[in-house]
Amino acid sequence: MASKKLWGGRFTGKTDPLMEAFDQSINYDRIMYKADITGSIAYVKAIQKAGIVTPEESELMQSGLSQVLQEWESGSFQVKPGDEDIHTANERRLSELIGSAAGKLHTGRSRNDQIATDFRLWLRSQLDLLLQYLSSLVKTITERASVEIDIIIPGYTHLQRAQPVRWSHFLLNYAFLFQADYKRLQQIYERVNQSPLGCGALAGNPFGVDREFLAAELGFENVIQNSIHGVSDRDYVAEFLFWSSLVMIHISRLAEDLIIYSTAEFGLIKLADAYSTGSSIMPQKKNPDSLELLRGKSGRLFGNMSGFMMTYKGLPTSYNKDLQEDKEPVFDTVSNLSSSLQITNSVIATLHISPDAAKALLTDDMLATDLADYLVRKGVPFRETHHVSGRAVQLAEQRNCQLSQLTLADLQTLHPLFEKDVENVWNFENCVENRQSTGGTSKNCVNKQISILTNWFNSLE
């Protein structure tokens, strides 16, 4: 009995069952069933246009493919032994439904350009969702920043208290990071949205199939101009996996900040119960597991990227079966990144910040730069005022008191230009309001940032 495999005509011996299992990809590439059928319907139209099938055969094939799609959608499609991949499964089922006409579906088409097309179609649909999740996250952060603009918290460098900033200013840092991620993904989208269909195995299509027609039918922006490039290019996969790793790094950094701020030592924020868990032994615990999982996922996604890059780096020209290894890391990355973006959004939307705790964390030593700036405004060079302010900090430490508790007489021993109005330095609101340049933490500057982001995500709707 002749082999029913798409490639079986040249072979007479049986395949090792272990090799059968090792070779198949239907267990995971079945996720692309819709993309595969969509591409096949377009290809039927193209080979009808090229005179390969009659209008009647084309209508029969398209109807059969639509029925196969309905079976997948309803959950009634049955994968059978011998279905190596999603293409084999769909073509086998089409043959069962419409008979020998199904055998014309693959005319001039290779699984090489078919899988490249399926993968780009499927990934394109996922990028649309990821763009939505990103814009929603930016919107949530920005709206929260607008409401809580009056809360002032310590800003940190080296995890040491540095200068006061508005809580909103801290949040908007991440909003701008995620906005940049959105824009980078738009650029990747353009490179994903190129059609390889009609490239054949590697040398092109021998039946004059109209590739531009195929591209337009499938919503691709352009056709890939070189057939070898069309079947073997996975640069867009590498780009997407790197981009995903970078997004998860941003999520991980945000998670780390919020984990620290949620500790009893900081007490700045509390997570909603929906995104926390308890301890199996310590009843008092409320663990930020959502944030810890988000932080952990960054390592997983980076691993997906680095693993694929090691596969991709040594491949010779054109298609090689190693490229089957591009699917699982991308599928896993899309799944985990989609969940991570949505969880991050929900965590941000529902957490509680304590204004009282924020106020308690503010200490006068964070105003040391403002003390130096006070003398700068009186004409003293900053390098000199920096030294004077440092001596004031040292004096306060020696006396075990706050900077603001140093008397005017104490300060005048450090520099004669200190006057009574130095008292205005010891005001955190004044400190943040002094940062009026673009990008600063004054209320006007923060409101400008909010306006920029609000206008941006409104323009997407």
- Choosing from 158, 280, 437, 459, the catalytic residue is 158
pLDDT, tens digit, 9 for 90 and up, residues 307-342: 999 999 989 999 999 999 999 999 999 999 999 999
Tell me, what's the pLDDT at 283? 64
Q: Catalytic site residue 158? A: yes
Tell me, what's the pLDDT at 22? 78
| E strand or H helix at 223 | strand 222-223
Tell me, what's the pLDDT at 279? 67
Q: Catalytic site residue 415? A: no
pLDDT, tens digit, 9 for 90 and up, residues 57-85: 999 999 999 999 999 999 999 999 889 99
- Choosing from 279, 306, 335, 451, the catalytic residue is 279
Q: Are 224 and 195 in contact (CB under 8 A)?
A: yes
Residue 7 pLDDT level (bands cut at 50, 70, 90) = very low
Tell me, what's the pLDDT at 9? 57
Tell me, what's the pLDDT at 3? 44
For the domain made up of 363-426, give the CATH fold. Ribonucleotide Reductase Protein R1; domain 1 (1.10.40)
The structural domains of the chain, with segments of one domain joined by +, span 16-107, 112-360, 363-426
Write down the pTM of the prediction: 0.92
Tell me, what's the pLDDT at 271? 94
Q: How many distinct helices (H) and strands (E) make up the chain?
A: 18, 6
SS3 label, residue 416: coil
pLDDT over 90 percentage in the chain:
90
Beta strands in 317-423 (DSSP E): 352-353
Question: Which CATH homologous superfamily contains domain 16-107?
Answer: Fumarase/aspartase (N-terminal domain) (1.10.275.10)
Residue range 202-231: mean pLDDT, rounded: 97
pLDDT, tens digit, 9 for 90 and up, residues 104-124: 999 999 999 999 999 999 999
Q: Are 275 and 350 in contact (CB under 8 A)?
A: yes
Tell me, what's the pLDDT at 25? 86
Residue 10 pLDDT level (bands cut at 50, 70, 90) = low
pLDDT at 294 over 90: yes
Question: Which CATH homologous superfamily contains domain 112-360?
Answer: Fumarase/aspartase (Central domain) (1.20.200.10)
End-to-end CA distance of the chain: give it in Å, rounded.
58
